[in-house]
Structure 1
Amino acid sequence: MAQRADISVTWERWQATPDGQTARLFHLTNRRGTRLTVSDWGATLTSFKLAMPNDNLRQLVLGCDTLEDYLQSPYLGATVGRYANRIRGAKFSVDGQQYKLIANEGENCLHGGEIGFAHQLWDAEIIESIPAVRFTLHSPDGDEGFPGNAIVTVTYTLSEDNNIRIDYEATVDKACPFNLTNHSYFNLDGVAGDVGNHVAQINANQYLPVDSESLPDGSPVSVEQTAFDFRTAKAFNQDWRKIVSDQRYRGFDHCFILDQNDGSQPVAQVRSGDEQVVLSLYTTSPAVQLYTGQYLEGTRGHNELVYQNRDGFCLETQYMPDQPNSDCAEECIVRPERPFKHSTTFAFHC
């Protein structure tokens, strides 16, 4: 089928991976001039330049110019898995069998382990009939300690009305927890600068309290009369000083349990500080992790910028952290007869 005229897809060779292969960049551009760039290294979203009414392009995501900088970055734009977020003690049990994972954050497993999906080269293909870019990865049995062979696909689509849609799928031959997400850091004011004045609304009546290791501290609780109540729109910085004692790292890194997640209605909205751009989030995932980038300091970014803490925020659609060790573990278990399948859309308006 011929490629649609309103979206073009091109690619270029980029840089060498640690094992000597060549990573590529794929550029999707719509008729308005908005440009999405993704890489087969980590199935990573590296750049998103939104066409503004004044015909300028505004860079809305934090990213790096070199693969070496991505290797040192805090998962900028990457696809993380097998299990995004944290698993306590780097272990879990499925069907009576305990599995020990690679611990890469103290005694815990973060974002899939030491060499998770974010640090691998994926197979890539351009799907001209959509058009889109689809990345595929084979994760072998025992990968970072996770059981079973898994085939994972992540498909990026840019629409004519400036929506980024990400479709996740995974099939397994043995039961295993799965939690795929995208770890893009957004700054709707453009490139960098404190995002505290961004105004957010999250349709969540509950959030998950965490301990000093950012692991669940009990079950989800009501956001009522807490700093985590985003049911009415407010600036990120309105309450973020209330939730941490060390003000150098003030900000959010918490999981919100979504009120609805059939993908038909936005579950969150964020407006830029200059009120020129609005991001609306749609997802079929049951929760979203709001992270306001309080550990970004020193990360080398686009055009030799050095990012500072709170220069970007993440909306990571996912299951809950450490859910494989909870009473609702089965919800995140993928089985041969029940594959992983979720979608997330970041819709932009200006």
Structure 2
Amino acid sequence: MPMTYQTPYPFGQLPGGETVFKVDIAGQEMRASVLTYGATLQALHIDGLSPSMVLGLPSLQDYLLQPIYLGATVGRCANRIADGRFALGGITYQLDQNFQKRHTLHGGRIGTAQLNLRVSDVAADSVQLAIDLPDGHMGFPGALRVKATFRILVGPTLELEITATTDAPTICNLAHHGYFNLGGDRTILDHHLFNPAQTYQTTDMSLIPNHEPTSVEGTRYDFRQPRRLADVIDTGAIDNNFCFTHQRGDIALLSRLHSPGAGVSMEIHSTERGLQVYDGVRTDLVVLKREGWPSHAGIASEPQNWPDAMNNPLAPASALHPGETYRQLSRFTFCE
């Protein structure tokens, strides 16, 4: 059923009294709901298909209690930073250590996923959210101005453009952390995943990646031919970055996810040279007032820079300087 365009309307209030807004956008036989809290994609529907393509929650309280960054835009630096430390311009910075009390994850305890952005522009088929992160926030240098724009394009395609500028040298790496389930099934285990990456990053026990990418050849991480996720997950979890070699700024195919039961596929094209794939093993930690989710209720496929890039000389550069603009463009296109 087509959705009537609505201006931002209240979704709930944060503990301090600040209002979180919800914005509905629609076009091209697609409709989406975006929350200002965490620049979160709450729902994504294709006309003629009843389930949302992404996992979402019905109330703000549910979002405040969930621990898996559900649908949020994470940053100012997505993924893990080893020991919560990096050096830039001869200065070593110590960040908030919110992962295993040692490493930094998704920008620290209060990253963009835990903050309430403001609506800076809205139209029937797009919404732009913005936030200003102060110098020293979670230990990061530089005052960072971030904008996240969700647009619906022909495809149907949901496009996410993220930009950022800084007043001092810093690092920047933002990512959409949506959990996709294309068929409305309890899990994504029967989905098939294609990923053209030739290499990926192995990790240590703390999920900190090794600097040197490893060939996918002969490994369980080889998705160059579509593979049923259950067949891969049965032999171990997936929470790894896949490495790409296209020029940053160019749009390239990173992934194709297919639900045989629903007959729906989703392609991810992005300017980013990394794709973190997480199999959603912890979705069962999201406790709902009604029936809860099982493990693997959705899969997260997150275009971003390589994790711990600022400490890895082999990774794409993550530094951002005054006068420069960080820009990520990612497109999620749906087809039969």
Q: Map 1:159-174 to 2 at 5 A.
A: 159-174=153-168
- The amino acid that maps onto 1:61 is V
1:24 pairs with 2:21: yes
CA distance in 2, matches of 1:212, 1:337: 38
Structure 2: stretches of 5+ with no match in the other structure: none
Q: Structure 2 length as normaliser, TM-score? A: 0.93
**Contact residue 9 and residue 29 of structure 1 kept, 8 A:** no
Aligned position for 1:68: 61
Return the offset for 1:329. 6.0
1:110 paired to 2:105: yes
1:241 deviates by: 3.0
Count of matched residue pairs: 331
Counterpart of 2:145? Answer: 151
Partners in 1 of 2:55 and 2:70 — Cα distance?
7
Q: Which residue of 2 aligns with 1:85?
A: 79
Q: Percent identity?
A: 28
CA distance in 2, matches of 1:39, 1:272: 27
1:247 corresponds in structure 2 to: none
- After superposition, the CA RMSD in angstroms is 1.9
**Superposition map of 1:181-220 within 5 A:** 181-190=175-184, 192-220=185-213
Contact 2:268 2:331 in 1 (8 A): yes
Point out the more displaced range, 119-128 or 89-98. 119-128
Greater displacement, 60-69 / 8-17: 8-17
CA gap 1:222/1:31 in 2 versus in 1, 3 angstroms: closer
Query: Contact 1:81/1:178 (CA < 8 Å) preserved in 2?
Result: yes
In 2: Cα distance, 1:184 partner to 1:178 partner: 19
Specify the code of the residue in structure 2 equivalent to 1:332: S
Q: 1:248 maps to what in 2? A: none
Paired residue secondary structure (2:180): coil
For 1:81 and 1:31, how far apart are their aligned partners in 2? 30
Task: Give 1:194 shift.
Answer: 1.8
Residue-by-residue CA offset, 1:118-137 (whole Å, 9 max, x unaligned): 11111103343x84100000
Alignment check: 8 A CA contact 1:270 1:279 kept: yes
**2:274 maps to 1:274:** no
Give the stretch that moved more between structures: 218-227 or 134-143: 218-227
Instruction: From the superposition, tell whether residues 123 and 58 of structure 1 become closer, same or farther in structure 2 (CA, over 3 Å).
Output: same
Residue 31 of structure 1 and its aligned partner are, at CA, apart by: 5.4
- Gaps in structure 1 of 5+ consecutive residues: 1-5, 245-250
**What is the CA–CA distance in structure 2 between the aligned matches of 1:138 and 1:229, rounded to whole Å?**
40
Q: Is the 8 A contact 1:142 1:148 kept in 2?
A: yes
Write the mapping of 1:303-318 to structure 2, written as runs, cut at 5 A. Answer: 304-318=290-304
Distance 1:99 1:236, change over 3 A: same
Match of 1:285 in 2: 272
- Of 229, 238, 242, 1:256 maps to 242
Question: Residues 28 and 156 of structure 2 are in contact (CA less than 8 Å); yes or no, is this contact kept in structure 1?
Answer: no
Summarize the alignment of residues 21-60 of structure 1 with structure 2, pairs less than 5 Å apart. Answer: 21-30=18-27, 32=29, 34-52=30-48, 56-60=49-53
User: Cα offset for 1:156?
Assistant: 0.3
Partners of 2:54 and 2:297 in 1: CA distance: 10
1:314 maps to amino acid: A
Kindly indicate whether the alpha-carbon contact (under 8 Å) linking 2:252 and 2:271 is maintained by their aligned counterparts in 1: no
The alpha-carbon distance between structure 1 residues 21 and 194, as it changes in their structure 2 partners (threshold 3 A), is same
Instruction: Go from structure 1 to structure 2 and tell me whether the alpha carbon gap of 1:172 and 1:264 turns closer, same or farther (over 3 Å shift).
Output: closer
Give the partner amino acid of 2:111.
G
Q: What is residue 119 of structure 2 aligned with on the other side? A: 124
In 2: Cα distance, 1:289 partner to 1:282 partner? 14
